[in-house]
Each structure stands twice: as structure tokens, then as C-alpha cells.
Amino acid sequence: MNTYIDNCKNYKKEIIQNFSPAQVVENFFTSEEVEILSEYQFANGERIKWTPTSNNIQSVVDIDTMFKSISWLETKFQMLLGNYWINHTGNFYITTQLHDCHVDLLTEDELTVYDWTHKVIPWKSVVIPLMLSHNAETYTAFLKQRHIGNSITIDRDYVSEQNDSMYELAREHPTFYLEDGTISKHDDKLESNDYIFPQIGKKTLQGLEIENCFKFEPGDIFLFDACQLHASCASNMKPNERFLKSGINIQFYKEII
């Protein structure tokens, strides 16, 4: 039987054909819907999870159960995305920190927990902003580089220890693909006049390029390739790194044919 990683290799062409630029969908949720989602993590969390490198607290919630419990959630995403695999992965998070540069795919642990991963390939991810402290500004940068495989955090500066991370730490850049499927050969310093990444080392950022950058606004959602590198950043004009924010990260998959 093929595994998820086998699928990533055998269906790489199909995965790449599904690539598209990251986008923000404004006012996707009403304020009432955002409140329902926000409360769900506290009412239904099985336990709390935290690691030093993630810089966030996660209420452990089964995402599939959430879709079944909140009927309008499936309806809204089907209208936006069309057809997708019935199961999801993802997590709630609460943080006061800018997060690292990473890709939210299936982890090695999740491959042993879920019995359906051999049937799918990665497709899209959605970040749902839920809460942000008053007068705070925070942004998420979506990079041009995409990684096909398991979840990874890029850490060429050895900021973190592997034992403290839920994701594999990549000390060197793996093969990155661009939206058009070509292999990224960019190796220059990341250039941005508008945004800064004070939490990420220079070696980690070297060779990466910004595709899009969106402001974290409850009610909006960020829609992007599940394989796409992304990281928090601050505005160069208003480098406010003091905030409290909460959101949801959800992965959507496609069934292999």
C-alpha cells in the first residue's frame, strides 16, 4: 500500500498543478461566526499543547469533529473551494509571538495517527484569524517557495532544538518549488522594504522571496497552498511586536485518483 510520502512523489505533477498564489478572502466570516469559532476551542479542547519553538498555546481540538458540529462551516468552504477530501488536519492557536518560517503539512506522527493519509495529497491551507488585541497590527507573509512532503520549520540559524519542535527542523533548505513548478534557485538575501522578520535569522531567510503579505484581520481568511512556506512579520512602518492573537489553521486535501 502506498503511503502519503509515496503519493507526494508519485503525484508531484498533480500537486504542482494545483499551486496558486496566496490570497486573502475578506469578510468570509461574520462577527457572530467568528465568535462561535473562538468559543469552540475553549468549550471543546481535549487538552492544551505547547512547545518552546512554536511560541503558542494550542487547544487540542479534532478538526473533523468541529466540521460536523458546526454545520455552516462545511457549507461555506465547499462554496469557496468546491470538492475536497472529507478529512482535515489543523489546530487552534493563541500567541503573543511572531511565528517562525514553516509549512503546515502532515507530520510524521500524524501519518501514524490517521488511517486515511495514504489516500490523499496536500492541496490547500486556510488560516482563520479569530482574535487580535486592540490597536495591534500583525501580518503573515506567504513566500514563493513551496515544499512537498511532511511539515517542516526552516531553521538554518539553529535557533531551536529538534526535541522542542512539533515539526522537523530543516537546517538546510530542501528542494523548493515555485508556483509554476520550477525549482527555486534563488539564494540572495530576502528583500522587503515594507515588512520585517525580527524573530527569524538571516541564514534562514536567505534564498526566500515574498509572494504576498496580508494583515491579520478577524473575519477574513488566508487561503494558500498547503505546501507554501509562510511566517509572521511586522510592518516596517509600525513595528509593533506586542499583541495577543488567536486563530485556526486548517489543511484541505485532495483524494488520489
The residues pairing with 194 across neighbouring beta strands, listed in sequence order, are none
111-151 residue pLDDT tens: 999 999 999 999 999 999 999 999 889 999 999 999 999 99
Cα–Cα–Cα angle for 196, 90, 170, rounded to 5 degrees: 50
Task: Answer yes or no: are the C-beta atoms of 133 and 244 closer than 8 Å.
Answer: yes
Q: Is the dihedral of CA 25, 28, 29, 30 positive or negative?
A: positive
Query: What percent of the chain has a predicted confidence (pLDDT) above 90?
Result: 76
Statement: residue 237 has pLDDT above 80: no
Contact 197, 231 (CB under 8 A): yes
**Residue 78: burial class (beta carbons within 10 Å; 0-12, 13-18, 19+):** exposed
pTM of the model: 0.94
User: What are the tens digits of pLDDT across the range 108-118?
Assistant: 999 999 999 99
4-255 carries CATH number 2.60.120: yes
**In the chain, domain spans:** 4-255
